[in-house]
Amino acid sequence: MRLQAVDVRLGYGDRVIVDGLDLGIEAGTVTTIIGPNGCGKSTLLRALGRLLRPSGGEVLLDGKRIDKMPTKEVAKVLGVLPQAPTAPEGLTVADLVARGRHPHQTWYRQWSSDDESAVGEALAMTGLHDLGERPLDELSGGQRQRAWISMALAQGTDLLLLDEPTTFLDLAHQVEVLELVRRLHGELGRTVVMVLHDLNLAARYADRLVAMRDGRVIAAGPPAEVLTESLLAEVFDLDAKVIEDPVAGTPLVVPIGTRHS
Amino acid sequence: MTPPLPRPGRAVPPTATAAPVRPPHERPLRVGPVSWLIRLRPAAVALVLLAAVTLLMALTMRIGDIPLTVPEVFRAITGDGPEHFVVMELRLPRALTGALVGAALALAGAITQAIARNPLASPDILGVTTGASVAVVAAIVAAGSTAGGPSGALAEVGIPLLALVGGLAGALTVYLLAWRRGLDGYRLVLVGIGVTAVFTNVKYWLLTLGDVNDSSRAMVWISGSLNGRGWEHVYPTALALAVLVPLALLGTRSLGALRFGDDTVTGLGVRTNLARGLMILAAVLLAAVATASAGPISFVALAAPQIALRLTGAAQPPLVVSALTGAVLTAAADLLARTVFSPVELPVGVVTAVLGAPYLIYLLVRARKEARS
């Protein structure tokens, strides 16, 4: 188990969102957390990335309590891309991606050749090499999201947590970002945990789906086992048919609604 | 075709030929395990500003009631007589205090603006300057005429000390009120503005209580003045800067990171609240020391980092260039304060306020335009 939540209780202030949750993330897998708005999936991801300290239970990284490890050491192994991240005004793409090298730098080691090649490779992998000098504010939504993923790549961690990396993107860009995530996994063997809203894309790009509702895990496993008609009813209160995706062979959710029933 | 991908955590062999990803004006300097990024433009700007502040100091040595030529200044430094006293005891310490105070204020401003993620923020909102003003005004009004007047022990040691304590107490008030399970930049700004408003009104209320002479003396102090500043102001300020500037520079990288959202910063392995707390502490101490020496000189902390930002074309106010800009601004403002209405000397804070107010309006107009577009 690379990353593990053991009996965690999570919340903000007095409001408890997740209570008594257990979840393990195996090395070399792509795990996608799905669930209705407010079910606690982003909260769980933040806790796994030690952005939120559990008020009960513990989060283990490689078997050690993540909150007891030096945060800079964690940052060398685990990268987090928060939901809708914000960057300072006027920042260039290259500056943003270079920021990913922060955990590897000290005051006397500010720009090593490792930093330089890691940033160059991260830019190349996300297809942004020609845009390095462009301010982030001038990019399209898809390019901007790729720049942020590029920053997480430059960090050089083999664990990546992505909170809704496809929000605000059109379908073509969503696919582009998820193809990139798949390549990270396929070519680099990285372990990815992400939160996604689109169930069909989640089914297609994940090895493992975790379905949550009201702060609890309802089902976890391969997409074909998790994404069933009864689960959709239980988790999303959604009346839907599940057919086979004609391209990938994964489950495809077709909502029924009232107009055609 | 996609390029081959690195293994995570892999050390890249020196033969790797990735194209440089830094712009041409940034040069890496690498010796063994040590590597620095030399930014040519900020370095050049820093040298020019250093020359400018030296030139301004030299001018200050020459200009005054007793005008001196350059050779006379040099002779005054080595010899004795009235010129020696004028240069070494009056003009030089005053000019040095001005430059040091300006540098400290600008550095405090650069840090505050980075933490608040707002170009309109200044250490004033940290409660330092108004806290110091309340303490000093209270002391002058309560004990001014009984404690030896403007040149007595109160003025020399008591007032700077009171200003320091008052400034730190003001900052502590803001900090405690703003802390809520961590320190948020926006919350800090809002609480700071509120506390500043309260302190400012207390200050004016105190001024109405005092006798006319004490109140007018207090007014000179609260507008920020370098008049009569001697070596007893230079040494503490220089000592404080010698400690705080390296501390601030060590935090530069965290400060750069802190301009991002908190989740991003934490994800990068920065102890967000600790880093932010330390940097705010550095800003508070710098502003408090500066205020203790020269009173609350306005606008330097606000304007210098933004001018430095535009001079260097950087993405965030660079600390060293900001400090040098602050030194140049304050030295130039004090030169104007001494000479424009000569023989009447204005408090330097009046000059910085007159120059700074239009600048603040410009910033506000620009911010509004950006918000609209």
Q: For residue B63, report the phi and psi dihedrals to the nearest 5 degrees.
A: -95, 140
Q: Which domain range does residue A134 map to?
A: 3-255
Q: What is the CATH number of the domain that holds B59?
A: 1.10.3470.10
Of B1 and A135, more confident:
A135
Q: Is B25 within a domain?
A: no
Residue B364 has pLDDT above 90, yes or no: no
B182 close to A (CB below 8 A): no
pLDDT given at position B357: 82
Q: How many CB pairs under 8 A join A and B?
A: 145
Q: Is A260 within a domain?
A: no
Q: Which domain range does residue B215 map to?
A: 41-364
Q: Is B11 within a domain?
A: no
Give B299-348 pLDDT, tens digit per residue: 999 999 999 988 888 778 889 999 999 999 999 999 999 888 877 888 99
Number of domains comprising chain B: 1
Residue B204 has pLDDT above 60, yes or no: yes
Closest-CA distance, B6 to chain A, in angstroms, reads 7
pLDDT band at B8 (very low <50, low <70, confident <90, very high): very low
Q: For residue A80, report the phi and psi dihedrals to the nearest 5 degrees.
A: -125, 130
Q: Do B22 and A94 touch (CB under 8 A)?
A: yes
pLDDT given at position B1: 42
Q: At what angle do helices B159-178 and B128-143 cross, to 10 degrees?
A: 140
B25 close to A (CB below 8 A): no
B31 close to A (CB below 8 A): no
| Nearest Cα to Cα of residue B206 among B309, B136, B115, B298 | B136
pLDDT given at position B154: 56
Q: Is B1 within a domain?
A: no
pLDDT given at position B13: 39
Q: Do B20 and A88 touch (CB under 8 A)?
A: no
B260 close to A (CB below 8 A): yes
Half-sphere exposure of B150 (CA within 13 A, CB side): 12
Give B44-98 pLDDT, tens digit per residue: 999 999 999 999 999 998 888 788 888 888 888 888 778 888 888 889 999 999 9
Q: Is B30 within a domain?
A: no
Q: Which of B7, B21, B266 sits opposite A188 (nearest CB)?
A: B7
Residue of B30, B258, B264 to mutate for A, most A C-beta atoms under 10 A? B264
- Which amino acid makes up residue B264? T
Q: For residue A252, report the phi and psi dihedrals to the nearest 5 degrees.
A: -125, 125
Report whether B262 contacts A82 (CB < 8 A): no
Q: Which of A74, A107, A117 sits opposite B18 (nearest CB)?
A: A117
B19 close to A (CB below 8 A): yes
B20 vs A contacts (CB less than 8 Å): 116, 120
Residue of A73, A83, A112 to mutate for B, most B C-beta atoms under 10 A? A112
pLDDT given at position B85: 87
Residue B9 has pLDDT above 60, yes or no: no
Q: Is A261 within a domain?
A: no
Give A158-210 pLDDT, tens digit per residue: 999 999 999 888 899 899 889 999 988 888 889 999 999 999 999 999 999 99
Tokens for B352, please give them: 């910085």
Q: Is B13 within a domain?
A: no
Report whether A67 contacts A53 (CB < 8 A): yes
Residue A89: closest C-alpha in chain B:
B315
Respond yes or no on whether the N-terminal peptide bond of residue B343 is cis (omega within 30° of 0).
yes
Number of domains comprising chain A: 1
CA atoms of B352 and B342, how far apart (whole Å): 17
CA atoms of B283 and B337, how far apart (whole Å): 27
CA atoms of A121 and A115, how far apart (whole Å): 10
Beta strands in B3-49 (DSSP E): 26-31, 34-39
Q: Is A241 within a domain?
A: yes
B212 close to A (CB below 8 A): no
Residue A127 has pLDDT above 60, yes or no: yes
Report whether A194 contacts A17 (CB < 8 A): no
Q: Do A73 and B269 touch (CB under 8 A)?
A: yes
What is the sign, positive or negative, of the torsion defined by CA atoms of A134, A140, A143, A147? positive
Give A46-67 pLDDT, tens digit per residue: 999 999 999 999 999 999 999 9
Distances (CA, A) of B279 to B113, B224, B257, B285: 11, 25, 12, 10
Q: Is A108 within a domain?
A: yes
Of B7 and A108, more confident:
A108
Report whether A50 contacts A67 (CB < 8 A): yes
Q: Is B21 within a domain?
A: no
B145 close to A (CB below 8 A): no
What mean pLDDT comes out for the span A235-242?
Answer: 94
pLDDT given at position B152: 53
B28 close to A (CB below 8 A): yes
Q: Which of B2, B263, B269 sits opposite A103 (nearest CB)?
A: B269
pLDDT given at position B155: 58
Report whether A116 contacts B20 (CB < 8 A): yes
Q: Is A43 within a domain?
A: yes
Which region holds residue B299: left if phi is over 0, alpha if psi is between -120 and 50, else beta?
left
Which region holds residue A109: left if phi is over 0, alpha if psi is between -120 and 50, else beta?
beta
Give B23-48 pLDDT, tens digit per residue: 767 788 888 888 888 888 889 999 99
What mean pLDDT comes out for the span B267-284?
Answer: 91
Of A242 and B184, more confident:
A242
Question: What share of chain B has pLDDT > 90, as a percent?
Answer: 37
Report whether A75 contacts A101 (CB < 8 A): no
Q: Which of B117, B181, B268 sits opposite A99 (nearest CB)?
A: B268
Closest-CA distance, A134 to chain B, in angstroms, reads 11
Closest-CA distance, B284 to chain A, in angstroms, reads 23
pLDDT given at position B303: 92
Q: Pairing relation of β-strands A191-195 and A30-34?
A: parallel
pLDDT given at position B184: 76
pLDDT given at position A257: 84
Q: What is the CATH number of the domain that holds A171?
A: 3.40.50.300
Q: Across chain B, what does the average pLDDT equal?
A: 84
pLDDT band at B11 (very low <50, low <70, confident <90, very high): very low
Q: Is B20 within a domain?
A: no
Q: Which of A85, A108, A188 sits opposite B34 (nearest CB)?
A: A108
CA atoms of B125 and B191, how far apart (whole Å): 8
Q: Which of B250, B266, B315 sits opposite A95 (nearest CB)?
A: B315
